[in-house]
Each structure stands twice: as C-alpha cells, then as structure tokens.
Amino acid sequence: MGGRGTWYMATRHADLFTGVIVMATGPGEGSLESLSATPLYIIHSPEDEVVPYAPVEEFAVRLAARGCPIQMMRLPGANHSMMGDYIAPLRVAGQWLWSEWDARGSRDR
C-alpha cells in the first residue's frame, strides 16, 4: 500500500503534508479537492502492468488545468515492480519539491 497509502493519507489529511510524491499508482477514491494547494509529483510508467498509465496521466492533466502544483514524470520501460528504476526519478521529484517550497516561501514573505 505504498503509493495507494500515500494517496489515501494525502487526500484525507492534506493539512499534514507540505508535498506528496507518488510512484506507480493512481489516486484511488479520495477527494482530490484537498490536494489543490499541495505540491504533487507523480512518477509512473506506461509499461506498468498493475496500474494503468492513461487514467493517472488524465488525472494529472486535469489537476494541472485547474492550476494545481503538479508534475508527472513518465518513466518508460519500467514495470510495476522495478523499483530500482524509480530511484533517479525520485531524486528529481525531491528537487522539484524543494523548488516548490522555496517559491512558496518567497511568496509568503
């Protein structure tokens, strides 16, 4: 329940998070309205045989169109259990979150 658990907690307790990174999963059933201000980074592969890519990408496009702070990294060639392939993208996601936090800090000053 790594990714699914992340979605679950973030959509139900957004006030506890300053950013969310999810890998190889979709949003599930939680309310996405609560994530409108929370930076969200999705890492997902079109070759994921467990969680289909297209619905996750559609979700990301919808949130981006609403102005939500979101990025989605397409990770070609990785299947659902190839977690080693997610290490470098996870580092990129962490850097993106830092830049989001820095930008928010400068807006709050």
Structural domain contains residue 29: yes
pLDDT in tens, 33-81: 777 788 999 999 999 999 999 999 998 998 899 898 999 999 999 999 9
Enter the pTM of the model: 0.88
Euclidean distance between CA atoms 53 and 38, whole angstroms: 22
Rounded Cα distance between 24 and 51, Å, is 7
Any alpha helices (H) in 28-86, and if so which ranges?
53-65
Is residue 108 included in any domain, yes or no?
Answer: no
CATH number at residue 13: 3.40.50.1820
Please tell me the total number of residues recorded for the chain in this structure.
Answer: 109
Q: Is the pLDDT of residue 109 over 50?
A: no
| Residue 59, in any domain of the structure | yes
23 occurs within a structural domain: yes
Number of folded domains in the chain? 1
In this structure, is residue 106 part of a structural domain?
A: no
